[in-house]
Chains A and B, each alone.
Chain A
Amino acid sequence: MVEVTRSSAVEATDAPREADFPRDSLVAHFGVDRPLKLDAGVELRPFQIAYKTYGTLNADRSNAVLVCHALTGDQHVANVHPVTKKPGWWETMVGSRKPIDTERYFVICPNVIGACMGTTGPSSTNPNTGKPWGLDFPVITIRDMVRAQALLLDHLGIEQLFSVAGGSMGGMQVLQWATSYPERVFSALPIACATRHSAQNIAFHEVGRQAIMADPDWRGGRYHLEGTNPHRGLAVARMGAHITYLSDAALHRKFGRKFQDRDTPTFSFDADFEVESYLRYQGSSFVERFDANSYLYLTRAMDYFDLAADSGGVLANSFKSTPTRFCVISFTSDWLFPTSDSRAIVHALNASSARVSFAEIVTDKGHDAFLLDEPELFAIVRGFLDGAGKARGLTAKS
């Protein structure tokens, strides 16, 4: 196994190269002797995990916090993104003196299996062919992502995580961590998530996938080989999904029925309304950094997620005599993962006598609230980690 840090000076603009040689990231390589056993019944080997770390691991290796990213996130949680040059996706939460304080904790954020920012996924090079995997890449699950992360922790020599935190698909990974490896998770912060993807959420994902596959440039998933890019389909998928991350109230507050750079309608199909222009921008900026096939694989992984199904349909059995402390958080205006989903997690944890906190935060910002400036969210995460830190014997400064 070799550690490689790739200098950010290296030029790489096309997706396959970023997928194989991620900029400004650490990469752990797992050789053919360390296969990743997938739920689909096949083994992935060799494979690699791109990740970032922040802060310092303490002497007894007890202050590691794993941050799990959401569907379109990546390992760049608290640094300038090498592709977009924008701030990290959770800089409000992770950093020096932030709620997940990098002065106290050693934060690890890996890119998930199936993604496109340096961890093995459909746009990575298939070692058997020397060409991008495309649809030959096996279908992966949330459990596969977590299995891969566990191998990364073994590689880093971290036996137990002080905490695992994440929102949305990241929250699903948190729940999977707590059920797959309860003894390795001291505390868990599943935010704005659920123990299973609802029919409505699967339906939205299917619309996104169909948009990608309907783009003639998708070429049956072989666009990397044929030199095309289904950016229109991917942009439409992103536009549709983006609406589900917001709320009616937030859209109204932000855009209302305002016109974009004009006073009257043009009686055409231009982006007359501000909200249209905003969505088009969201779509076009997304395709610059994301791979269409990865979008298919990761949405599929979320669709397949059903924690209770792994425990004979009884959710409480997933958490039976769990030693982990949980802090479940939801947002009032999140209709993608509504509070009722979080409440189901809490009921199951109560039924297992788990130590659980649950807070619902009032906001009109919808599902995306977990990524935004929500002072109450920060206070709760900070308080929960402080309390868990005391119980774990972590001193104020490690």
Chain B
Amino acid sequence: MKHLTAANLARTPTGARIDLVMVAEMVERGVKVLDVGCGDGELLRLLSETRDVDGRGIELSREGVNECVAKGLAVIQGDADTDLADYPDDAFDYVILSQTLQATRHPRVVLEHMLRIGRHAIVSFPNFGHWTVRLQLLFAGHMPRTDILPYSWYDTPNIHHCTIKDFRQLCTEIGVKLEKAVALNAWGSPLRLNAPWWFWNLFGEQAVFLLSRKG
């Protein structure tokens, strides 16, 4: 099951998903990357084509994995919640969790592992503080459904939604350094960098965070 409906995520004129392009832009060239929850390998392919990285992936769905391997990508079937523990410290330069955080059972443990395995972590997620989400709960009185989060409450794979504010709070709690953050509005355009966090939290539909270990 896909966590998001990728078809509904905004794309660049060349067809690349804007959130993935944002992630790719945060990655240095020629580094070693682990993409956790890599789906059909779109980000890994983008990274190898545009950033010349040595990319590896973990994906929960068997279909996703087999599709990736058939494309020549180094992907294994595995679960972010259980299998990150098997990786040694400092094995990667970047560990990426793209649109998968909200589907993990233990987001905090996953994030801690990411920064143990990699020097940097990049996390992108749908912002549950977006105004359309808030309005649905406030006025319609039902669990929010959006273009990118179309599931009903009873069949959603997304079990740990958070807002941009929540995520920043978690970063503070586990002592992670926030290097860079980008929020995208519903049309996939980045919000103004000098906008205050409350503005991002209200108008950002998705967020991308670049993190590193403190010290």
- Which residues of A line the B interface, CB within 8 A? 325, 327-328, 346-347, 350-351, 353, 355-362, 376, 379-380, 382-384, 386-388, 390
* Contact A360 B62, beta carbon cutoff 8 Å: yes
> Quick one: CB contact mask for B146-184 with A, threshold 8 Å, 1 for yes?
000000000000000000000000000000000000000
A18 to chain B, nearest CB (A): 39
- Which residues of B line the A interface, CB within 8 A? 54, 56, 62, 65-66, 68-78, 83, 86-88, 91
Majority SS of interface residues in chain B?
mixed
From B56, B70, B76, B88, A379 is in contact (CB under 8 Å) with B70
Q: Which residues of A contact B86 (CB under 8 A)?
A: 347, 350-351
* Contact B73 A387, beta carbon cutoff 8 Å: yes
Q: Which of B69, B83, B86 has the most CB of A within 10 A?
A: B69
A153 to chain B, nearest CB (A): 25
Q: Which residues of A contact B77 (CB under 8 A)?
A: 358-360
From B66, B74, B78, B87, A380 is in contact (CB under 8 Å) with B66
**Contact sample, A vs B, 9 pairs, CB 8 Å cutoff:** A346-B76, A356-B76, A357-B74, A358-B69, A358-B75, A358-B76, A360-B77, A380-B66, A383-B71
A355-B54, A360-B62 as given contacts; A383 in contact with B72, CB under 8 Å? yes
CA distance A376 to B62 in the complex (A): 11
Nearest to B72 among chain A residues (CB) is A387
A350-B76, A351-B86, A351-B88 as given contacts; A383 in contact with B70, CB under 8 Å? yes
* Contact B74 A362, beta carbon cutoff 8 Å: no
Q: How many A-B residue pairs have CB under 8 A?
A: 65
CA distance A390 to B83 in the complex (A): 29
CA distance A382 to B56 in the complex (A): 18
CA distance A356 to B65 in the complex (A): 12
* Contact A384 B69, beta carbon cutoff 8 Å: yes
Q: Which residues of B contact A380 (CB under 8 A)?
A: 66, 69-70
Q: Which residues of B contact A355 (CB under 8 A)?
A: 54, 56, 74
Q: Which residues of A contact B70 (CB under 8 A)?
A: 376, 379-380, 382-384
From B66, B69, B74, B87, A351 is in contact (CB under 8 Å) with B87
Q: Which residues of A contact B62 (CB under 8 A)?
A: 359-360, 362
Q: Which residues of A contact B69 (CB under 8 A)?
A: 327, 357-359, 380, 383-384
Nearest to A386 among chain B residues (CB) is B72
Known: A327-B69, A350-B76, A383-B70. 15 other contacts (CB 8 A): A325-B74, A346-B76, A346-B78, A351-B87, A353-B88, A353-B91, A356-B56, A358-B69, A358-B76, A358-B78, A360-B65, A376-B70, A383-B69, A383-B71, A387-B72
CA distance A380 to B76 in the complex (A): 12
Q: Which residues of A contact B72 (CB under 8 A)?
A: 383-384, 386-388, 390
Nearest to A357 among chain B residues (CB) is B69
A357-B75, A359-B77 as given contacts; A350 in contact with B66, CB under 8 Å? no
B60 to chain A, nearest CB (A): 12
A104 to chain B, nearest CB (A): 14
* Contact B71 A359, beta carbon cutoff 8 Å: no
B98 to chain A, nearest CB (A): 19
CA distance A201 to B86 in the complex (A): 27
Q: Which residues of B contact A356 (CB under 8 A)?
A: 56, 74, 76
Q: Which residues of A contact B76 (CB under 8 A)?
A: 328, 346, 350, 356-358
From B65, B71, B91, A387 is in contact (CB under 8 Å) with B71
CA distance A299 to B87 in the complex (A): 34
CA distance A383 to B65 in the complex (A): 12
CA distance A360 to B91 in the complex (A): 25
* Contact A358 B65, beta carbon cutoff 8 Å: yes
Q: Which residues of B contact A325 (CB under 8 A)?
A: 74
A95 to chain B, nearest CB (A): 19
CA distance A355 to B69 in the complex (A): 12
